[in-house]
Amino acid sequence: MSAKKVLVTGGTGFIGSHTIVELINAGYTPIIVDDLSNSTPQIIDQIQKITGVKPAFFKFDLCDAKSTNEFISQNTDIKRVIHFAAYKSVGESVQNPLKYYRNNLYSLVNLLGALSEQPVNFVFSSSCTVYGEPEQLPVTEEAPVKIAESPYGNTKQISEEILLDTTRANAKLKVTSLRYFNPVGAHSSALIGELPIGVPQNLVPYITQAAIGKRGDIVVHGNDYNTPDGTCIRDYIHVVDLAKAHIAALKSMEKDSAENRFKVYNIGTGKGSSVLEVINAFEEATGVKANYKIGPRRAGDVEQIFGKVVKAEKELLWKAELDLPIMMSSAWAWENYIKQNPM
């Protein structure tokens, strides 16, 4: 009998690995499927160091329908899925859209097709990028999904449509789509964290790599926006808080027999922080200087977005608890760990 088995696709990634830790802490038995295209298997050893449990791991590409069908047919007792596996670089998706449409959509369609015979509670890793530049702030789940700013964001929009249609056709499927804001930080053990490949595109890993001397000064992408200090505003959320939201989503689906089998939640803190506020929070939390210079705006950036998060608080009984200083100090501790222990 499956001891609360959960299939976690993309489970060796940044958010996936933190979610595996929280699943184990909550008494679930996670099973990782990952093609390791954007992560390293060493992360599994790190998870074992944190939890004492070495999760089962299967390496294959969900875009390969044969491997996906074989795996699911050998695991017909899987009733819970958390689907992280996807490419996620906004900039790269603009340069190479077909790579993103193929990978992010084929993998989802293959997975759903393979699972169609068994009852499944499915948590989907979505994104606030589906909102584009919101008309109202904080943005609510009812806000209109806007034309995506990038092929990456469009794959998230299309994936949500695929999931909605599939729940309508398949009464055995329940879906909770979690629209993440900006995940940052690292586990308090500093044994897992964000492992960007190449020059980080995201703000916080760039800050920590610049501060440790791995990169040049931070370039702030524009300070002429219509915001208090002229720099863009985002809703940064600690990756451990985000990981815990996935467990809350599973628990909610396990007890919820509501007819509505496709639900969407904003997963953020509800608080906006500007680029300069994040840099300042890093310096205050670590005592380390983070030098920056102002550069041109970055194509595709929205001016500001932060989420209304009361729906997740009320229905998932989940609320972010960790603040910006802890996000910064934990990201810095992880940067120092990987300097001593390269992965």
Tokens for 272? 């906006």
> Shortest distance, CB of residue 269 to ligand WQD, whole angstroms?
13
> Shortest distance, CB of residue 224 to ligand WQD, whole angstroms?
12
152 carries an active-site annotation = yes
CA distance readout (Å), 100 to 103, 149, 195, 275: 5, 14, 20, 27
Catalytically annotated residue among 28, 152, 180, 236: 152
Measure the CA angle with vertex 342, ends 205 and 32; round to 5°.
80
Residues linked to residue 123 through DSSP beta bridges, in sequence order = 82, 176
> Shortest distance, CB of residue 137 to ligand WQD, whole angstroms?
14
Q: Which residues bind ligand WQD (CB under 6 A)?
A: 88, 90, 127, 129, 180, 182, 201-203, 206, 218-221, 232, 234, 275, 298, 301
Burial class (CB in 10 A: 0-12, 13-18, 19+), 98: exposed
Question: What would the DSSP string read from start to end of 63-132?
Answer: T-HHHHHHHHHT-TT--EEEE--S---HHHHHH-HHHHHHHHHHHHHHHHHHTTTS-EEEEEEEEGGGG-
User: Measured between alpha carbons, how far is 323 from 17 in angstroms, rounded to an integer?
Assistant: 21
Report the residue number, 159 or 182, with the smaller CB distance to ligand WQD: 182
> Shortest distance, CB of residue 119 to ligand WQD, whole angstroms?
28
Which own/partner pairs from 222-231 qualify as long-range (CB within 8 Å, at least 24 positions apart)?
A: 222/294, 222/295, 222/296, 222/297, 222/298, 222/301, 223/276, 223/294, 224/297, 225/297, 225/303, 225/304, 226/303, 227/274, 227/303, 227/304, 228/274, 229/274, 229/276, 229/277, 231/274, 231/275, 231/276
Report the residue number, 20 or 218, with the smaller CB distance to ligand WQD: 218
Question: What would the DSSP string read from start to end of 223-234?
Answer: S-SSSTTSS-EE
> Shortest distance, CB of residue 219 to ligand WQD, whole angstroms?
6
Nearest to 318 by CA among 269, 253, 248, 264: 248
> Shortest distance, CB of residue 10 to ligand WQD, whole angstroms?
12
Report the residue number, 113 or 230, with the smaller CB distance to ligand WQD: 230
- Catalytic residue list: 152
